[in-house]
Amino acid sequence: MKVQKFRRLVWTHYKKHGRHELSWRKTRDLYKILVSEVMLQQTQVERVEPYYREFLRRFPTARRLAAAPLSEVLKTWQGLGYNRRAKMLHEAAKQIAKEGMPESVAELEKLSGVGPYTATAVAAFAWDEPGLVLETNVRTAITHHFFPGQEKVSDKEIAEILHKVMPKGNVREWYYALMDYGSFLKRSGVRINARSSHYTKQSKFSGSNREARGAILKELAKGSQTEARLLGLLGDDRRDQLAVALSKLKEEGFIVKVQRNWRLA
């Protein structure tokens, strides 16, 4: 497909069907955009929206988040899953409170839990920085139109097309439009994950260590609990798995033991 035709297709769809109502699309505040990008990692947009609003109600600035105890952050995060994201975001807020707001992609990457993708995305949405934001919806749109029938399309190949189709200026809106169009394609039945050489299938949640960790943190969000209570959360056949999860959560600084009970750190 020709570049100009693709751009018109994406912009036309965005004008008619773009998700303009999403809260994080109404701000250029770096902190608020960072929160949204961390929440959107491995979590669907529809699930993130209410958690995002509540999180910013509780922690409207990086300084407010940095000053809050981790236990309060984890309680507010409950239900989103992948709780390491909350802890790393909390640590990133402490860095910002101490060192000031990042002013470049390189400085963003120094924040806890912020890798190249998140740093580039935050820069694109906060500053219109023309970096390569490669996520699943973008891959879907580019692969579907520029690599029809090709197996194992690499991110390098997609990046080359992204450079060509990216308009000069208005990077932020372009990526919103491209993501929305890719999302539309997926809802319409277009599936290109298996064709991406960078695709890895997400492991099952049921029976996983993630489920065990999540169960413990969810229970401790209610208040301190005995070890016996925590080890019995998922049935007798998973006590050993819960014991390992409990040990790891302590090691990572999520939880502490006070006398005979466990609580959030």
Domain positions in the chain are 3-17+131-195, 23-127, 209-264
- Rounded CA Rg of the chain: 21
Q: Does residue 31 register a pLDDT over 70? A: yes
Q: Which CATH number fits domain 209-264: 3.40.50.920, 1.10.10.10, 3.30.450.20, 3.90.1200.10?
A: 1.10.10.10
pLDDT at residue 37 is higher than 80? yes
At residue 173, the pLDDT reads 97
Handedness of CA 22, 177, 128, 35 (dihedral sign): positive
* Distance of alpha carbon 229 from alpha carbon 239, whole angstroms: 10
* Candidate list 21, 37, 49, 54, residue with the active-site label: 37
Burial class of residue 92 (count of CB atoms within 10 Å of its CB; 0-12, 13-18, 19+): buried
Examine the residue annotation and report whether 135 is marked as an active-site residue of this protein: no
The tens digit of pLDDT for each residue in 108-142 reads: 999 999 999 999 999 999 999 999 999 999 999 99
Q: How many CB atoms within 10 Å of residue 119?
A: 23
- pLDDT recorded at residue 1: 76
Res 191: pLDDT: 80
Per cent of the chain over pLDDT 90 is 81
pLDDT of residue 169: 84
Q: Report whether CATH 1.10.3720.10 matches the domain 23-127.
A: no
The pLDDT, as a whole number, for residue 149 is 83
Q: How many residues in total does the chain contain?
A: 265
How confident is residue 202, by pLDDT bands cut at 50, 70 and 90?
low
- Note the pLDDT tens digit of each residue in 137-182: 999 999 999 998 888 899 999 999 999 999 988 999 999 999 999 9
pLDDT tens for each residue of 38-96: 999 989 999 999 999 999 999 999 999 999 999 999 999 999 989 999 999 999 999 99
**Prediction pTM value:** 0.86
- The sign of the torsion formed by the CA atoms of 75, 77, 83, 88 equals negative
Whether residue 12 has pLDDT greater than 90: yes
